[in-house]
Amino acid sequence: MDTILLAVNGTLMRGLELNPNLLAVGATFVKEAFTEPVYRLWSIDDRYPAMIRVYSGGSAIALEVWAVPSRGITTILLQEPPGLCIGKVRLTNGEEVLGVLGEPIICEGKREITDWGNWRTYIANVSHNKT
């Protein structure tokens, strides 16, 4: 079976809300990784993140890399929230893989969470502060 590496940085990660979408198409977890320090991350109404590559002011964002059967990539994309897309993501080891990115327009007026370094840390903090 042909597989494609897919970097995920939000609700598709292990144990999170949309992870069953990856599992349903037969994807398998490969590794935890970081992007090159050229990305920024936003919270879209505390429901999911959007990651965008930038020219300056970027950071390394923690993510997961999954091996997804090539026939499952379209299914995954169609199940993603509006404004998320698949593009190329550069990892700290120089590897370039497909990854989930956000369209810049969905980040306008939203909370930037780049300083948290990843979605898991951000949502853990938000959940803790709500109790």
The model's pTM is: 0.93
Q: CB of 84 within 8 A of CB of 100?
A: yes
How far is it, in rounded angstroms, from Cα 95 to Cα 39? 15
| Contact present, 51 and 107 (Cβ < 8 Å) | no
Dihedral class, residue 48 (left if φ above 0, else alpha if ψ from -120 to 50, else beta): beta
Token look-up 């002011």 returns 57
- At position 76, the amino acid (one-letter code) is I
What CATH number does residue 69 fall under?
Answer: 3.10.490.10
Q: Which two tokens stand for residue 62?
A: 């923690």
The residue segments making up the domain with residue 43 are 3-130
Q: What is the pLDDT of residues 42-76, one digit of tens each?
A: 999 999 999 999 999 999 999 999 999 999 999 99
Give the per-residue pLDDT at 126: 85
Number of domains in the chain: 1
Alpha carbon separation from 94 to 1, 51, 75, 79 (Å, rounded): 26, 18, 27, 29
Asked whether the predicted pLDDT for residue 130 surpasses 70, the reply is no
